[in-house]
Amino acid sequence: MINVIGLGSAGCNIADVLAEYPQYVIHKIDVGLSKEKNCFSIAKRTNPEHYESKFPAKLSTTLKNLKGDVVLIVGGGGKISSATLRVLECVRNNSVEVLYVKPEASDSAMQAWQLDKITFSILQQYARSGAFKRLYLVSNTEIERTVGNIPVSQYYPRLNSIIGSTFHMLNVYKNTPATFSRFSDSDQVSRISTLGVGSLEKVTDQMFFPLDYVGAKEYYFAINANQLDEDTELLTNIKRRVTQEDSTIKAGFGVYPTPYEQNYVYIIANTKIIQGVNYDE
């Protein structure tokens, strides 16, 4: 079982998506949560720093006692995101991945912009240092480009559903033996990543964050089981599909059977380079 910690509104909403799957135990931390199992409502703070300095001792104890892998999901810009490092401190003895939802710059007030900038930078530094296993970056703006127009009332529920379901399917296939695979060995340094989707027919990777300086990509092809048995050109087409225009990007892939008629492609892109820095200056 994987412990999912949703911190703040965005984190809790995506955690709710993962709650639909039996592989996860959900823990939610936010202001004003209802009294339910594994829901931790904390006091509203005017000063963002107080979410860290006055983090509840009882909650710290609970998090320190978690057994197994941990996924922390947090949205940037919210005041409660200031508690991110405190949560990470509590679970430092676990194998930890972080999913960070970067807000739109145009939607952020100055304080939110500053909080996002700080958290975004620190999490990348922590990931690179090996303080936790991997940092996944996602952007609502990029996901919106992938799915097209969305009704206003469904905007965040739809985006959260896409993030949660894509993250889940990648977890499934990473832990499932492939029918055929050619994955490159991990360099153990490229710990900053993003998720994406694609199709077998179109040579377009629709990534959830505009990751710069990508060093490697992993493709997970979920292919109809009958096609796996009958399509003699499938492997050739997959090899062509994963070929990169940039020869410096290493691309690996795995092929997995699915009972669904429609094929799916899930993607992870990795880099060892800190994002949001202008290296040309």
137-190 residue pLDDT tens: 999 889 988 877 788 888 889 999 999 999 999 999 999 999 999 998 878 889
Q: What is the rounded distance in angstroms from the CA atom of residue 169 to the CA atom of residue 198?
A: 13
Question: C-alpha 237: how far from its chain's center?
Answer: 28
159 close to 208: Cβ distance less than 8 angstroms: no
Decide if 2-132 and 186-271 have a common fold: no
Distance from C-alpha of 250 to C-alpha of 271, rounded to nearest angstrom: 11
Report the SS3 class of residue 266.
strand
- Range 2-132 has CATH code 3.40.50.1440: yes
Question: How would you class 98 by CB atoms within 10 Å of its CB: exposed for 0-12, middle for 13-18, buried for 19 or more?
Answer: buried
Q: Give me the pLDDT at residue 108, please.
A: 55
Cα–Cα dist 231/56, whole Å: 57
- In percent, how much of the chain has pLDDT > 70? 98
What is the model's pLDDT at position 163? 96
DSSP annotation of 215 reads -
* Mean predicted confidence (pLDDT) in 216-237: 96
Q: What is the pTM of this model?
A: 0.94
**Rg value, the chain, Cα:** 19
pLDDT value of position 103: 85
Q: For 214-222, what is the mean pLDDT? A: 97
Q: Where are the domains of the chain?
A: 2-132, 186-271
Question: What pLDDT, on the 0 to 100 scale, is given for residue 144?
Answer: 87
Mark 115-137 as b/e (b = at least 16 C-beta within 10 Å). Answer: bbeebbeebbebbbeebbebbbb
Measured between alpha carbons, how far is 37 from 222 in angstroms, rounded to an integer?
A: 35
pLDDT tens digits, 60-82? 999 999 999 999 999 988 899 99
**Amino acid 106: pLDDT:** 57
What number of other Cβ atoms are within 10 A of residue 201's Cβ?
Answer: 10
**168 vs 23: CA distance, rounded Å:** 9
Separation of alpha carbons 170 and 267, rounded Å? 8
Q: Please report, in angstroms and rounded to a whole number, the separation of the first and last CA atoms in the chain.
A: 45
Q: For the residues 253-269, what does the mean pLDDT come to? A: 96
The answer on pLDDT for 111 being more than 90 is no
- Mean pLDDT, residues 205-211: 96
Q: What is the pLDDT of residue 281?
A: 57
pLDDT at residue 55 in the model: 95
As a whole number, mean pLDDT of residues 236-240 equals 96
165-188: b or e for each residue (b if 16 or more CB lie within 10 Å)?
A: bbbbbbbebeeeebeeeebeeeee
Alpha-carbon distance 124 to 140, whole Å? 19
Stated as kind and residue range, the H or E segment containing 192 is strand 192-198
CATH value of 186-271 in 3.30.1330, 2.50.20, 3.40.50, 1.10.10? 3.30.1330
